[in-house]
Amino acid sequence: MAIRPILHYPDKRLRIPGEPVTDFGPELQTLVDDMAETMYAAPGVGLAATQLGIAKRLFIVDTATGDDEPSDLRVFVNPEILDGEGEVVFDEGCLSFPGAREEIKRHAVVRVRAQDRHGATFEVEADGLLAIAIQHENDHLDGKLMIDKLGVLGRRLLHRSMVKRQSAEATAR
């Protein structure tokens, strides 16, 4: 397993939609393991393959947030959100927007169909943090980012903040 670099906004590769996964062989298994190690090291509750510059329809989530909670790693390959209901506003972060937190409106409950890391199809209905994480990561697979959910002023401020951060990081290297 290896920790892989996470792309940061405004990297244009974050806008490339993921292609369906058709091969569930060793390369995918290594990718899933590397994504988990990368997500935990970051630390985060979700990570999409597109955030690593890999245009595949694959994301992982683990919404166990406390040290006393056992890991709940879930792998979603070729996910499809079947429906959503209700509305919730959640203070979201994103590993591709380091340090940023934004209030994002999403469905309160979602039903999703996906495949696991071995290709078996499953469906899950989720609410709470799991529903938020599924929607957030699924957006990544479509080339959509949390900045897209903000109003004009919010988008402008977050964009400036991320460009400034990127510039400061480049200068520090």
Question: According to the model, what pLDDT value does residue 68 have?
Answer: 75
Cα separation, 30 vs 76, whole angstroms: 15
User: Are residues 124 and 111 in contact, defined by beta-carbon separation less than 8 angstroms?
Assistant: yes
Question: According to the model, what pLDDT value does residue 167 have?
Answer: 85
| Catalytically annotated residues | 137
Q: Give the whole-number percent of the chain exceeding pLDDT 70.
A: 100
DSSP helix/strand/coil, 28: helix
Residue spans per domain, the chain: 12-172
pLDDT at 172 over 90: no
- Give the residue, 65 or 18, on which the prediction is more confident: 18
Q: What is the pLDDT of residues 156-165, one digit of tens each?
A: 999 999 999 8
pTM of the model: 0.95
Q: Name the CATH code of domain 12-172 (choices 3.20.130.10, 3.40.50.10680, 3.90.45.10, 1.20.1600.10).
A: 3.90.45.10
